[in-house]
Amino acid sequence: MEQGAAHGGIGGRVARAVLGLALLAGLTAYCAARLQVVTDITAFMADVADPKLAELSRGLASSELTRTLVLSIDDEKGDPDVALAGAQALADKLQGHTEVAWLRAGPGELHAEAIHNLYYPRRAYLLTDEEADRKDRLSDEGLRAAARELKRQLGLPTSSVIKTIAPADPLLAYPAQLKRLERAQGGGIGLRDGHFVAEDRYALVLLATRHSPFDAESQGPLQAAIDAAFAEVDAASGGRLALEQSGVARFALASERSMKADISRISTVSIVGLVLLFLIMFRSPRLIVLSFAPLAAGVVAALAACLAIFGSVHGLTLAFGATLIGVCIDYSVHLFNHHLLDPARGGPRASARRIWPGLLLGALTTVAGFAGLAWTSFPGLREIALFASIGVLVAAMATRYWLPDFLPMSPRPGALQRIASAWLSRLVAAMRRRRALLAALPAAAIGLCAV
């Protein structure tokens, strides 16, 4: 009967282990099928009470202004004609790209009629905003001064233009506004042979994208096309051109690449460090693999929840999720140490049952800290809160109910593990004998927080 019970116990362990692996594989397949990573910065814009204002703020984030890219071409010898030729060649190559909504290397034909139609009907609004100044201009003396100025303008070579607008604009508000606009240009960007130039040296190309600047799937190929087109133009110019770019899309794309690099770097450094530490402490490749099982379950479950609820996952959420390694791996280590150094009579599951109250308390306090972000007005932080809360809770549950089925029934702790345990036991015993010295620990913590 004992042999039958043993076989039944082994069968139950295998069944639970296989069921856990099947659930993990199913969640992984779901995530792979629906994975969509976004880097939209609007996810970290607060949801305001007014829905119209919220919609306006998100519309501004994807407006034509944010979708505009500025390309600057410079000749290393400072020849503006070479830079202009390069800018025009670059514009010709990019003109037909599917992501380019419009492209301009110059203002094109200046439509004086369009300018007139825009400003002339609004000439009354172009007067000064100061009420006192308006009263002065409309006083008897102000009107006499305006009449003298109108008479002077009619005696100039440009009188034909003044005669056209004077009947409806005797105060000449419209010509005055055109002069203010001319003075407000302030230099910087000018024209040379019909092309935009800056500082009489840098040739400019302006273009707007069709999609949001935070849509990496659209902006990535466009940036690659810009780089490839400029490489051809630069080669045709003898390699003497330099390209500079500015625009929201550039920064968004760089941020996404930085996120991915952070995820790879943090994950790699953490995993390598943990593997080395486990090899030194436990000297068991089996435990190294098993230590990542609850972590994998937590991350995959959290990712699946985000994809199911939000339809996508933000890059910052994934970057933050990589830091869960430092939290969830502690659950496995906690179970390993108890099972190897002080195993329970009922085997690994009994050891997990014994440490579960403390393990659950630690997990719930961590979840409570992250769950507090769920009430924030930032959608991105709410997503991070959901990801972290589910990840930590599932990792703790996997440590309690799934991981023990993979552990050996007869554990063998390593020599270094026994030495470290004995040293820590002596340290705890010494602390119990000198309880007054324990006050130094919270005092040091408070001092560190103050710093």
**pLDDT tens sequence across 149-159:** 888 888 887 77
* Residue whose entry in the numeric block shows the structure tokens 């435990």: 287
Q: Compute the average pLDDT of residues 228-257.
A: 89
The two tokens of residue 379 are 């959608």
| Single-letter residue type at 318 | L
Q: What proportion of the chain, given as a percentage, has pLDDT over 70?
A: 86
| Listed range (97-101, 358-362, 419-423) with the worst mean pLDDT | 419-423
Q: Which residue has the higher pLDDT, 256 or 404?
A: 404
Segment of 64-68, 236-240, 315-319 carrying the highest mean pLDDT: 236-240
| Listed range (70-84, 180-194, 257-271, 364-378) with the worst mean pLDDT | 180-194
> According to the model, what pLDDT value does residue 1 have?
40
> According to the model, what pLDDT value does residue 3 have?
43
Q: Is the pLDDT of residue 439 over 70?
A: yes
Q: Compute the average pLDDT of residues 96-107.
A: 88
The secondary structure of the chain in percent helix, strand, coil, rounded to multiples of 5, reads: 70, 10, 20
Do 50 and 159 contact (CB within 8 A), yes or no?
Answer: no
| Mean pLDDT computed over every residue of the chain | 82
Q: Is the pLDDT of residue 288 over 80?
A: yes
Q: Residue 382 and residue 316: Cα distance in Å, rounded?
A: 12
Q: Is the pLDDT of residue 2 over 50?
A: no
Q: Is the pLDDT of residue 263 over 80?
A: no
Segment of 2-16, 28-42, 194-208, 387-401 carrying the highest mean pLDDT: 387-401
Give the single-character DSSP code of 377.
S
The two tokens of residue 413 are 């702790």
Q: What proportion of the chain, given as a percentage, has pLDDT over 90?
A: 28
Q: Compute the average pLDDT of residues 203-216.
A: 87
Residue 207's Cβ-count burial label (10 Å; 0-12, 13-18, 19+) is: buried
Q: Compute the average pLDDT of residues 356-382.
A: 86
Q: Residue 110 and residue 265: Cα distance in Å, rounded?
A: 52
> According to the model, what pLDDT value does residue 162 have?
81
Residues 240-270 as b or e (16 or more Cβ within 10 Å = b): ebebeeebbbbebbebbeebbebbeebeeeb
Number of alpha carbons in the 13 Å side-chain half-sphere of residue 34: 18
Do 391 and 305 contact (CB within 8 A), yes or no?
Answer: no
Q: Which residue has the higher pLDDT, 264 or 15?
A: 15
pLDDT classification of 4: cutoffs 50, 70, 90: very low
* Beta bridge partners of residue 205, listed in sequence order: 71
| Listed range (14-23, 54-63, 73-82, 220-229) with the worst mean pLDDT | 54-63
User: To 10 degrees, the CA torsion angle through 338, 343, 345, 349?
Assistant: 50
Question: Nearest to residue 225, comparing CAs of 408, 103, 351, 402?
Answer: 103
Structure confidence by residue, pLDDT tens digits, 343-359 = 888 889 999 999 999 99
* Residue whose entry in the numeric block shows the structure tokens 């993979």: 406
Question: Nearest to residue 271, comparing CAs of 328, 229, 350, 214?
Answer: 328
**118 CB-near residues (< 8 Å, 6+ apart):** none
| Listed range (130-134, 200-204, 289-293) with the worst mean pLDDT | 130-134
Q: Which pTM was predicted?
A: 0.62
> According to the model, what pLDDT value does residue 189 have?
74
Q: Which residue has the higher pLDDT, 5 or 326?
A: 326
pLDDT classification of 5: cutoffs 50, 70, 90: very low
Distances, alpha carbon 416 to alpha carbons 334, 408, 421, in Å: 16, 19, 8
**113 CB-near residues (< 8 Å, 6+ apart):** none
Give the single-character DSSP code of 44.
G
Q: Residue 369 and residue 366: Cα distance in Å, rounded?
A: 5
Q: Is the pLDDT of residue 11 over 70?
A: yes
pLDDT classification of 108: cutoffs 50, 70, 90: low
Helix, strand or coil, per DSSP, at residue 210? coil
| Single-letter residue type at 84 | L
Q: Which residue has the higher pLDDT, 359 or 57?
A: 359
Do 146 and 120 contact (CB within 8 A), yes or no?
Answer: no
Q: Is the pLDDT of residue 255 over 50?
A: yes
Residue 74's Cβ-count burial label (10 Å; 0-12, 13-18, 19+) is: buried
Element (H, E) at 192: strand 189-192
**353 CB-near residues (< 8 Å, 6+ apart):** 344, 346, 400
Q: Is the pLDDT of residue 376 over 60?
A: yes
